[in-house]
Amino acid sequence: MINKKINRIMIAGTNSGCGKTTVTCAILKALKNRGLKVAAFKCGPDYIDPMFHSEIIETNSRNIDLFLCGERQARYLFAKNSENTDVSVVEGVMGFYDGVGGNTGENSSWDISNKLGIPAVLVVNCKGASVSVAAMIKGYLDFDKNRIEAVVLNNVSKHMYKMYKETIENRLGIRVAGYMPFEPEAVIGSRHLGLVTAKEIGSLKQKTELLAAIAEETIDLDLLLDIANNAEHFDYEKIEVEQISDVRIAVAKDRAFCFYYQDSLELLEKMGAKLIYFSPTEDIRLTEDVDGLILGGGYPELYLEKLSKNAGMINSIRAAWREGMPIYAECGGFMYLGKSINSYAMTHIIEPSFEMTEKLQNFGYVTLTAKDNTMLLEHGESATAHEFHYSKNDSDSGSLTARKASGKTWETGYCKENVFALYPHIHFWGNIQMAARFIKKCEEYKK
């Protein structure tokens, strides 16, 4: 067991939409402007918030997910990704106590804060309330044993802040670390998966600079750094990974396919793989001499015409599939392998056609169990995953059984021969044997 000092703090919130992403981005940029080396993390499975963090701190943000990875792996990854930094800033997920299911706090911001010893700052949206804000904060402080050490008030004007601060500190004894006023010039748009992606906001740099300037005036950054610096020492176990093969794996990465866990990609590299990034919308064929293909999630529905008209790429992927190249695809990548999306022709490697929906389909954490032997899971083996999509296909069967904590089950995925394609997203650090098997299959194909 290794014990080390990691300066760390969590920016959590009372609920989704309370402003924790805005406050987190403001703090990240302000700390970076001070010349500090900052590591950024996001609790839970979300892909989009880490993209914003990454743009701001100019290095990769990571996810902390106890369900997808397990605590041992999560602790190791947090320590590894916090190396050589001044402070690690962790953005919470949903409401502070909201966890895996509707009635549990497991894998919530609260759970991660407690298990990883991360002191938390609670972001509270004060719009439409005054003294009641103190009552709400008291509920969060008293609900369960926690590490909340301060609060930041959102949507508060300068002239009202003094009243809020005095009321909260006098009644509750919790420190108020500042506030964020509403600033229309710094608003970030949203889409069905939450925020729009960072690459889509041309003015992101200006928005975050504005947020940072506001934070320097309205948030006690020195107090936040003091809280982070006083976090207890961190224990973790180093995890060794087998080096398997120097296979070359093509990874789709552009605006249509941008949902990847950076730690999963780096695990493949740690096992010896060389990742070759390409764009299914812009490139006309797969790079030569690749031994495997990964198609991640994203927003293919926004680029259907470009994807459908790129016959060169479609034919190249189909040729690789026919030759037996191992293909791993998640969510948007799964859809791209289908016959069509909204009647736009796709690669047609698998039979289902896909349609976008107004309503969110299967959502949440799931445990996947293989019904038969597949490329990455043998019959009866399981993997942890997360599903979230606004689309459906015309197939009522699947190679895997998905089970939620509630007990609800359904069939999902197309996992036959050299293809492992599914809606849910998998974190390879929680399912290391799947990453190893994929590389071994790529090695077999290479030979």
CA dist 326 and 292 (Å) reads: 5
69 contacts 59 by C-beta, under 8 angstroms:
no
pLDDT of 189 higher than 70: no
pLDDT at 205: 87
Domain boundaries of the chain, sorted by first residue: 2-236, 248-446
pLDDT of 5 higher than 90: yes
Q: Which architecture, in CATH terms, is 2-236?
A: 3-Layer(aba) Sandwich (3.40)
331 in active site: yes
Q: Which residues contact 73 (CB under 8 A, 6 or more apart)?
A: 239, 429, 430
Q: Which residues pair with 13 in a beta bridge?
A: 123
Q: What is the mean pLDDT of the chain?
A: 95
The mean pLDDT of 52-73, rounded to a whole number, is: 97
Q: Among 25, 69, 331, 415, which one carries the catalytic annotation? A: 331
pLDDT of 197 higher than 90: no
Alpha helices in 243-349, H assignment, sequence order: 262-270, 304-309, 311-322, 332-336
pLDDT at 363: 86
Per-residue pLDDT band for 87 (boundaries 50, 70, 90) equals very high
pLDDT in tens, 88-121: 999 999 999 999 876 789 999 999 999 999 999 9
pLDDT at 386: 97
pLDDT at 203: 81
pLDDT of 190 higher than 60: no
253 contacts 289 by C-beta, under 8 angstroms:
no
The mean pLDDT of 9-36, rounded to a whole number, is: 97
pTM above 0.75, yes or no: yes
pLDDT of 195 higher than 50: no
36 contacts 8 by C-beta, under 8 angstroms:
no
pLDDT at 103: 78
pLDDT in tens, 394-439: 987 899 999 998 899 999 999 999 999 999 999 999 999 999 999 9
pLDDT in tens, 14-26: 999 999 999 999 9
**Structure tokens belonging to residue 223:** 């107090």
pLDDT of 145 higher than 60: yes
Give buried/exposed letters for 230-254 (b at 16+ CB in 10 A, else e): ebeebebeeeeeeebbebbbbbbbb
- Which CATH number among 3.40.50.1820, 3.40.50.620, 3.30.70.420, 3.40.50.880 corresponds to the domain 248-446? 3.40.50.880
pLDDT in tens, 300-355: 999 999 999 999 999 999 999 999 999 999 999 999 999 999 999 999 999 999 99
Per-residue pLDDT band for 185 (boundaries 50, 70, 90) equals confident
**DSSP label at residue 197:** P
Percentage of the chain lying above the pLDDT 90 cut: 91
pLDDT at 193: 47
The mean pLDDT of 365-386, rounded to a whole number, is: 98
Per-residue pLDDT band for 199 (boundaries 50, 70, 90) equals low
